[in-house]
Amino acid sequence: MKPWNANPSGLDSLANFAGEIPDKRLLVLLSRNRDSDILSESNWDTVLKFLGGESDSVQIVRHGHWACGWIEYLMIDSADTEMVALAESVESKLRDYPVWDEDDFSNREWESACQYWETTSVRERVRIIQRHGGKSVSVFAARRASLPENDNGSIFQYLVQP
């Protein structure tokens, strides 16, 4: 973890910071913004829950940002040594493997792919099937609002790729 500093986002200076300056004792564990991907959102929510939610020792610092609209930092009070140790274990696990909760991440990917498919025109679904469905998926599957059942995973992967 690193302390919050005068260059919190790495993109600009404190002059562009719009919000209350966080306590210097706070350490940044995670961050997210308006454009965060599914993995970042999953990690944010599940790690925050793992840490017990917001408290005196676990704080979320929010501010507007010129490039991405807004940024949030999940911060740990360095004075709470037990919480710091717990947060360091989170950081260590994420360093070894970037997914905190496989089930949550997988569910979010599935929901995202299903939502994309449901809101896509039949014409676009046909195009996706032709490019990514291989021979196992009939173009007639584009008529259904649900993802093709006989997809070998290629359509799903296409729909969830960043």
Contacts of 74 (CB under 8 A, 6+ apart): 28, 29, 30, 31, 44, 47, 48, 51, 58, 59, 60
What is the amino acid identity at position 2? K
Q: Is the pLDDT of residue 8 over 60?
A: no
Residue 150: pLDDT band with limits 50, 70, 90 = confident
CA angle, 84 then 62 then 28, to 5°: 25
Q: Is the pLDDT of residue 98 over 60?
A: yes
Mean pLDDT, residues 91-96 taken together: 96
Write down how long the chain is: 162
Q: Is the pLDDT of residue 15 over 70?
A: no
Q: Is the pLDDT of residue 9 over 60?
A: no
Query: How do strand 26-33 and strand 69-77 relate by DSSP bridges?
Result: antiparallel
Neighbours of 62 (CB within 10 A): 12
Mean pLDDT, residues 112-140 taken together: 93
How much is the pTM? 0.85
Burial class (CB in 10 A: 0-12, 13-18, 19+), 37: middle
Edge-to-edge strands of the sheet including 69-77?
2-3, 26-33, 69-77, 58-65
**What is the average pLDDT value for the chain, to the nearest integer?**
89
pLDDT, residue 39, reads 96
pLDDT, residue 23, reads 75
Mean pLDDT, residues 57-62 taken together: 92
Mean pLDDT, residues 106-134 taken together: 94
Q: Is the pLDDT of residue 66 over 80?
A: no
